[in-house]
Amino acid sequence: MTFDAAPRIRVLPADLVNQIAAGEVVERPASAVKELAENALDAEAGRLEIALRGSGIDEILVRDDGHGMSREEAALALIRHATSKLATEEDLRRIATFGFRGEALPAIAAVSRLRLLTRRPDDAEGTEVLAEEGREPVVRPAGAPPGTTVVVRDLFYRTPARRKFLKSARTELAACVRAVEWLALSNPAVGFTLHHDGRPLRRFLPCAATADRVREVFPDVPLTPVEGALEGVAVLAFLGGPEHARPGARNLELLVNGRRVADRAIVAAVAAAYEGMLPAGALPPGVVYVNLDPAAVDVNVHPRKEEVRFVNPRQIYAVVRHVLRDGLARARTVGSAAGAPPGPSPAAAAEEARPWRPPVPEPLGPRTFGLVPPPSPAVPLPTFPAESAFRPGAAPALRSPPGPAAESPPVALRAGSFAALVPAGQVFLTYLICEGEDRVVLIDQHAAHERVVYEDLRAALRSGPLPSQSLLEPLPAPLRADLLAVVEEERDTLARLGFDVEAFGPDRALLRAHPAGLRGDPVEALRETLAVLTHGRGGERAVVERGLATVACHSAIRAGKRVSDAEVRALLRRMDEVDFGDHCPHGRPAWTVITRAELERMFGRR
C-alpha cells in the first residue's frame, strides 16, 4: 500500500475551530453579553456592570466582583474546552453552573479584539490577557481590582458576513437589554447595571425576595404569585391575568434551575392552567421558575444552551400545570373573598342599584364605523342586574307564534338575520340579549363591534393608510427596549395603521398621531400594537393584519359600557353588512345561540 498523496482529512487549526464555534455560540452581541455575564455569575459575583457601545457591536464591557483568576488560570481561559466547572463525567450529568463547555471566551476572542483583566482578592497584582487576529494571546501582569473585567471590541470584524446580517442597532440593543433582564430574573440577589453609549439603561439593586426583582422587570403588569412543589419539582411563577395575554411566548420567561430556556412542555402547561380563559395561541406575561434535581435535566443539548431535555417531560408538564392551575384558582378565590370579584366596577354596581332611566347614548367618536343611531327616538333598553340575566315580567318584545317548537331548529344565522333580531336587554354591561325566531342570541358587544371595525379597517387600508388623529402635543410613551426597536423597524407599518411615532431617548417614544376613532389610552394602544408587531412571522400581510386587529380592539365599544337600543340596532345592521364570521379578530366567540327547544328543556317544558 502506497501513500502518494496528502490526506484529504486533516485536523483544523485552533483559530479556525474557534471561528466555527463562534458561529454556534455567538450569534449576535446579546449572545456575547449573555456568555460573559454568565461567567461572572458562575464566579459568584455580587454585582455586574455591563457597558455597551454601538449596541454591543463596537464594544462590550462586563465587570464583576467575583473571585477572579490566577495568572495560570487566566492564560488557560482562552483555550477551547478549558473550564473550571467540570472535572468528571459525573459532573456533566449534574450541571449546576451556567457555563461548562469552556467554549464561550475562545469563540468570542476568535471574532473580536478581546481584553481580559482579572485579580483574586488576595493576590498582590492582577493579570491582563490580550487576544487579537487569532494570534497567541498575550499574558502579562497588570493592576486590577478584585474580580474580572472582559472588554470585547469590534465584534465580528473577522467575519464580515455575520456582521452584515445583524439587525438594526436598536434591535440588537433591545436583545442585549432582554438578555440582562433574563439574567437579573434568575439572580435576584445580584445587582446589575447596564449602560449604552454612556447612558444608563437598567439598574437592578440586589433583592432579598424574588418577587421584588420580578416587579422591577415587569413594572407595568400586575402579576399573580403562585408557588408549589410536587414530586421533587418546585414551581414559582408570577403571571399576568388573561386580559394581558398576547400571541406567542415572547413575554413569558421560563427559568429551569436558573437557566433561561425555551421548552414546549412548560409552555403547554402554562396554557393548560389558563384553559378556557385565553384565545388560541395566546399566553400571559410573566416568569415561571422550575427547580429540580440537576440529574433530571440535560442542559447539554443546544449550542447556546437555550433548550433542555427532561428525563421525564410528562412529569414536568403535569406538575407545572397542577401547581399553576391550583394557585391561580386560589388567587381568584382570595380576590373574591377580599371584596374584589370579577365583574362590574363599584361605580357600575352603584349605577345598577339606582332606579333605571333610559340611557343617554354616548358619542362614539369621530370614527363610528357605521354605529350611528337613526334620528328617531331611541327605544328604552332595559339593563338587567348582575344577579339575574332575566327579570321576571320583562317579556321579550317579540314572541314566537304559538305551537310546538321545532325539535332541531337551525343554529346558524343566515345573511341579513342579525338585523332581524329584536334587542331584549343587556347583562353585565357587556352581553346583548336579542330575540329571534325560535331562538335567543347572546352577543358580546365588544367582540362583535371589534369584528365590524376590523372589517371596515381592512377595507379602508386597501385605499391607503388609515386616517390619523393628530395630537396637539406629542405624548411620551415609555417603552421596553424591544418595543422601541419596533418603532424604528416598523415605521412604515405603523404609519399605515395610523400611528405617527418616533423614538425619543433610550426608553421612550413620542406619539404624534394615532388612528382616528381610537378609544381609551392611545399610548396603551400603541404599546399593544408594537407588542403584536414583534411577532413578525407570516410575512408583511400577516403582520399588518395583526396590527389591524389591535387597532380594532381599541376602537370598539368596550365591555362595561351601557349601550342604547338604537346603538344595538345599528350594531346588528353592521354585523350583516360586513363579512362577519363567528369570532372577533383575536379568535374569541362574538355570539352564541340558545334555541327555544333548549330553553324549554332547561325549564322542564319538554
Please, are residues 558 and 447 in contact by the beta-carbon 8 Å criterion? no
Asked whether residue 192 falls in the same domain as residue 315, the answer is no
Asked whether residue 47 falls in the same domain as residue 108, the answer is yes
> Which range is least confidently modeled, 25-29, 40-44, 58-62?
25-29
End residue of a domain, out of 176, 207, 238: 207
CA distance 404 to 596: 10
Share of residues in the chain with pLDDT > 90 (%): 43
Q: Which three cell numbers stand for residue 178?
A: 432582554
User: Which CATH number covers residue 322?
Assistant: 3.30.230.10
Asked whether residue 19 falls in the same domain as residue 103, the answer is yes
Please, are residues 44 and 67 in contact by the beta-carbon 8 Å criterion? yes
End residue of a domain, out of 207, 232, 251: 207
CA distance 242 to 516: 27
CA distances to 173, 177, 480, 485, 524 from 504, in Å: 15, 17, 12, 11, 17
The pLDDT confidence band at residue 392, using thresholds 50, 70 and 90, is very low
H or E segment to which residue 170 belongs: helix 169-186
User: Which CATH number covers residue 185?
Assistant: 3.30.565.10
User: Which CATH number covers residue 528?
Assistant: 3.30.1370.100
Per residue in 458-480, pLDDT tens? 888 888 899 999 999 999 998 88
Residue 560 lies in a domain: no
Q: Report the Cα–Cα distance between both ends of the chain, in Å, rounded.
A: 96
Residue 502 lies in a domain: yes
Asked whether residue 146 falls in the same domain as residue 258, the answer is no
Span 420-434, average pLDDT: 93
CA distance 237 to 310: 19
Residue 51 lies in a domain: yes
Q: What is the pLDDT of residue 133?
A: 77
Per residue in 176-222, pLDDT tens? 999 999 999 999 999 999 999 998 889 999 999 999 999 999 887 88
How many domains does the chain contain in total? 3
Residue 561 lies in a domain: no
Residue 425 lies in a domain: no
> Which range is least confidently modeled, 84-98, 115-129, 394-408, 581-595?
394-408
Asked whether residue 180 falls in the same domain as residue 276, the answer is no
Asked whether residue 203 falls in the same domain as residue 268, the answer is no
Q: What is the pLDDT of residue 193?
A: 96
End residue of a domain, out of 310, 334, 358: 334
Residue 157 lies in a domain: yes
> Which range is least confidently modeled, 121-135, 210-224, 579-593?
579-593
Is the pLDDT reported for residue 335 higher than 90? no
Span 336-354, average pLDDT: 40
Span 296-313, average pLDDT: 80
CA distances to 197, 338, 547 from 398, in Å: 70, 42, 41
Show the domain range for 282.
218-334
Is the pLDDT reported for residue 172 higher than 50? yes
Q: What is the pLDDT of residue 352?
A: 36
Asked whether residue 189 falls in the same domain as residue 278, the answer is no
Residue 473 lies in a domain: yes
Asked whether residue 187 falls in the same domain as residue 241, the answer is no
CA distances to 1, 391, 394, 550, 602 from 598, in Å: 90, 19, 20, 36, 6
What ranges in 384-461 are assigned the alpha helix state H?
445-461
The pLDDT confidence band at residue 247, using thresholds 50, 70 and 90, is confident
pTM (two decimals): 0.66
CA distance 354 to 357: 9
Asked whether residue 186 falls in the same domain as residue 237, the answer is no
Asked whether residue 305 falls in the same domain as residue 160, the answer is no
Which of 25, 26, 28, 22 shows the shortest CA–CA distance to 173? 28
Asked whether residue 94 falls in the same domain as residue 166, the answer is yes
Share of residues in the chain with pLDDT > 70 (%): 80
Strand partners, 288: 237, 254
Span 476-490, average pLDDT: 84
What ranges in 377-520 are assigned the alpha helix state H?
445-461, 481-489, 491-496
Q: Which three cell numbers stand for residue 33?
A: 453579553
- Say if strands 191-196 and 47-53 run parallel, antiparallel, or are unpaired: parallel
The pLDDT confidence band at residue 341, using thresholds 50, 70 and 90, is very low
Question: If you average pLDDT over every residue of the chain, what do you get?
Answer: 81
Residue 403 lies in a domain: no
Asked whether residue 100 falls in the same domain as residue 167, the answer is yes
The pLDDT confidence band at residue 302, using thresholds 50, 70 and 90, is low
Please state whether 519 falls in left (phi above 0), alpha (psi between -120 and 50) or beta.
beta
Q: What is the pLDDT of residue 343?
A: 38
Q: What is the pLDDT of residue 13?
A: 74
> Which range is least confidently modeled, 35-44, 268-277, 529-538?
529-538
Strand partners, 441: 434, 593
Is the pLDDT reported for residue 398 higher than 60? no
